[in-house]
C-alpha cells in the first residue's frame, strides 16, 4: 500500500518534470548537459589547477577524487542497480515519457549520474572548498542540475536521482573525512595554494 502510493507520487512528479515542464530551451540544453564529455574541459581545468598550484602535492587530492568516483560508480552500478533492477521510465509501459536521449538497456535505480556528481560535489566541497568557499554553492548546483536533467530527458525517475544523490553525498563525505584527517594539512597548507 505504502509502496504503491510512493510509486504513484514518483510517477506523478516524473510526469511534471518530463512532460509538463517541457520547453525548447531545456530540450536543447539538458541532453548535452548530462553528457560526461560535455564536462571534460571542466575536469581538465580542475586537474590543471591542482597540478599548477600544488605540484606533487596534488597527487593526493587527485587520487582521492578518482577513488570517490570509482567507489560511487561501482557501488551503484554493480550492487544497487543489479539488486533492485528497476526499469527506466523510457522502458516502462505504465509511464508516459518524452524521450530526449537514447533510452539504454540498463536499470534505473539509482541514478549513477546523480551518485557520481554528488560524490564529487561533496568531496570537493569539503576539501577544495576550504580554499575557495564560494565554489561550494556552484558544485551543489552543478550536481543538482545534472540529476534534474536525468529526469527531464526521461531516463530516471525522481526517486532514482534522489537516492543516487544521497548515496553519492555519503561516499564523497566519507572520503573527504579521511582526506581531511590525514592529508588536508599536507595539501592545504595554510588553507591557500602556494604562490
- For the chain, the structural domain boundaries read 25-191
The closest of 175, 108, 40 to 184, measured between CA atoms, is 175
pLDDT of residue 189: 59
- pLDDT score recorded for residue 92: 84
- CA torsion angle for 130, 133, 135, 139 (degrees, to 10)? 70
pLDDT reported for residue 195: 42
Output the CA angle 74-76-26, nearest 5 degrees: 115
In this prediction, residue 148 carries a pLDDT of: 97
Chain mean position to CA 92:
23
| Ordered per-residue pLDDT tens for the chain, 195 residues | 677 788 889 999 999 999 999 999 999 999 999 998 999 998 888 888 888 887 777 888 889 999 999 999 999 999 999 999 999 998 888 888 888 998 877 899 999 999 999 999 999 999 888 878 898 999 999 999 999 999 999 999 999 999 999 999 999 999 999 998 887 766 665 444 444
**pLDDT value of residue 193:** 46
Q: For position 191, what pLDDT does the model report?
A: 44
**Nearest partner of 156 among 8, 13, 21, judged by Cα:** 13
pLDDT at residue 1, rounded to an integer = 64
Residue 105's alpha-carbon distances to 89, 115, 178, in angstroms, are: 11, 19, 36
**153, 27, 14: which is closest to 95 by C-alpha?**
14
Q: What is the DSSP string of 28-47?
A: HHHHHHT-GGGGHHHHHHHH
Q: To 5 degrees, how large is the angle CA 28–CA 32–CA 36?
A: 170
pLDDT for 163 equals 97
Amino acid at each position: 500500500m505504502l509502496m504503491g502510493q510512493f510509486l504513484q507520487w514518483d510517477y506523478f512528479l516524473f510526469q511534471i518534470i518530463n512532460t509538463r515542464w517541457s520547453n525548447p530551451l531545456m530540450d536543447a540544453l539538458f541532453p548535452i548537459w548530462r553528457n560526461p564529455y560535455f564536462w571534460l574541459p571542466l575536469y581538465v581545468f580542475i586537474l590543471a589547477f591542482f597540478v599548477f598550484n600544488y605540484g606533487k602535492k596534488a597527487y593526493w587530492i587527485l587520487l582521492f577524487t578518482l577513488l570517490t568516483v570509482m567507489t560511487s560508480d561501482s557501488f551503484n552500478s554493480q550492487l544497487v542497480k543489479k539488486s533492485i533492477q528497476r526499469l527506466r521510465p523510457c522502458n516502462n509501459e505504465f509511464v508516459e515519457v518524452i524521450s530526449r536521449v537514447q533510452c539504454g538497456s540498463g536499470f534505473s535505480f539509482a541514478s549513477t549520474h546523480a551518485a557520481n556528481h554528488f560524490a564529487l560535489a561533496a568531496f570537493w566541497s569539503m576539501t577544495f572548498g576550504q580554499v575557495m568557499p564560494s565554489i561550494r554553492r556552484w558544485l551543489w548546483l552543478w550536481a543538482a542540475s545534472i540529476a534534474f536533467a536525468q529526469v527531464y530527458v526521461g531516463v530516471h525517475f525522481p526517486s532514482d536521482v534522489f537516492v543516487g544523490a544521497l548515496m553519492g553525498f555519503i561516499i564523497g563525505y566519507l572520503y573527504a573525512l579521511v582526506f581531511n584527517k590525514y592529508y588536508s594539512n599536507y595539501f592545504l597548507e595554510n588553507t591557500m595554494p602556494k604562490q
